[in-house]
Amino acid sequence: MRVAVIGSGISGLSCAFYLADHSGVETVVIERDAVPGGRANTTEQGEHCPRIFLDDYHTLFGILRRIAGTDGRSVHAHLQRLRRYSYAGGHGWVEVSHLYRVFAKEIPLSRRLQMIRRPRSPLVAEQYRGANANRYGSLKNFSRLALLRMALSLLRSRTAYTFDGPTRTHLIEPWVRHLSERGVELRTGCPVTRLTPVPGGISIETAGGTEVFDAVIVAAFVPDVIPLLAASGLPTAVRALNHTHCKAITVELDPAEPILAAAGPAMYCRDGINIVLQPAHRRSIVLVTRAASSADDFVLGKVRQFLGLRHPLRSVGVRDNQLPHEAVYAATYLRPDAVVTRAVPGLYLAGSYLRNGYPVDSGEGAARTALAAYRQIRHAYGLTTSPAARVG
């Protein structure tokens, strides 16, 4: 049996991970970009965003525990608790014991009550008070249901984790190596232009030609899925989708910076600028959300101020994240039968934009939809796994 997975983000890599447990299945992952990872990739411009994992990523963590990391330990074992710092007027930086400030006992109750009375989305630049030159976040990208999901997530997650180093080194490369060792083929720089149902399978058209697979899982980001379905003549009820674009800057620091003496990774959030410090690799990843401006000089000036930097920056990489597939999906989750409105034998969907029972668009949502698509294929084709490799 041959299965193609379109997209090598966390969802696509998760699909391939599950399928690799079956020796009788030939799995090919097809990625249009030059590097794998989807929105978890690392390019010459740096990270797509700070890669953060919440403590209830149970499905994704189940995968990461089975993948060997850079030193033989599992990828999951390389995750470190992310210390969280919030700026309090008159007190400076305060380490908080909860992932979300509204639940942090270290912040005065009066301030937390103010947050509750005037809730603001952390991704919406238009909610910044006063003059705003940040063209990235936008209120129209959020449905009320999406905002409710984000609020409910506050009750589910207390702790965040991250890698103290590049996502490519700690997550994507070990994952790709694991799949390669288990016989999975990865093709990069290979955009899919058309899907055609044929007797007994699905035909995939790329610049390299046409191939037929018994089953195809489309795990690409939703702004790329809809045009692909349209070009393939497959019916969909999804037309226009709004997304939030957040600028990310990867900064290499001088080894003499005092802030690098911190023990383990830490996150500093102030004025809509979110900085994840990775001391072991002498760098920080900055996500610009509800800031007054997203201009490089403005943001880097704030980074120098917030971290108390004393030396010139060693290097700066900027990801504008303005292409549709680089966005943060923040609209109402889609039902699979709205993405493809009639059943197509052999065609399956995965991706963090699908309904999956997880309240926040994330790596966990991507892994859950991958597991759901895998289960559908396993049932449809009668696949069996060894007890050691069996998933729920």
Q: Over its length of 392 residues, how does the chain's per-residue pLDDT go in tens digits?
A: 999 999 999 999 999 999 999 989 999 999 999 999 999 999 999 999 999 999 889 999 999 999 999 898 999 999 999 998 888 776 788 887 766 666 667 666 766 666 555 555 555 555 555 666 777 765 555 667 766 776 676 667 778 899 999 999 999 999 999 999 999 999 999 999 999 999 999 999 999 999 999 999 999 988 889 899 999 999 999 876 667 788 999 999 999 999 999 889 999 988 889 999 999 999 999 999 888 889 999 999 999 999 999 999 999 999 998 887 888 776 678 889 999 999 999 999 999 889 888 877 689 999 999 999 999 999 999 988 654 455 54
- Write the DSSP assignment of 139-165 as a string of letters: GGG--HHHHHHHHHHTTT---EEE-SS
- Token pair in block for residue 341: 């409105």
CB 222 within 8 A of CB 334: yes
What is the pLDDT at residue 183?
A: 97
b/e per residue, 105-118, with b = 16+ CB within 10 A? eebeeeebeeeeee
Rounded to an integer, what distance in angstroms lies between the CA atom of residue 223 and that of residue 74? 33
Q: Which of 162, 188, 154 is nearest to 7 (CA)?
A: 188
CB 137 within 8 A of CB 292: no
Rounded to an integer, what distance in angstroms lies between the CA atom of residue 79 and that of residue 23? 30
Q: Which of 6, 3, 10, 1 is nearest to 370 (CA)?
A: 10
188-to-18, 31, 202, 203, 351 alpha-carbon distances in Å: 20, 5, 20, 19, 19
Distance of CA 36 to the CA centre of its chain: 13
What residues have CB less than 8 Å from 354, skipping those under 6 apart? 333, 334, 335, 336, 339, 365, 369
Burial of 266 (0-12, 13-18, 19+ CB in 10 A): buried
CB 40 within 8 A of CB 10: yes
Rg over CA atoms, the chain: 21
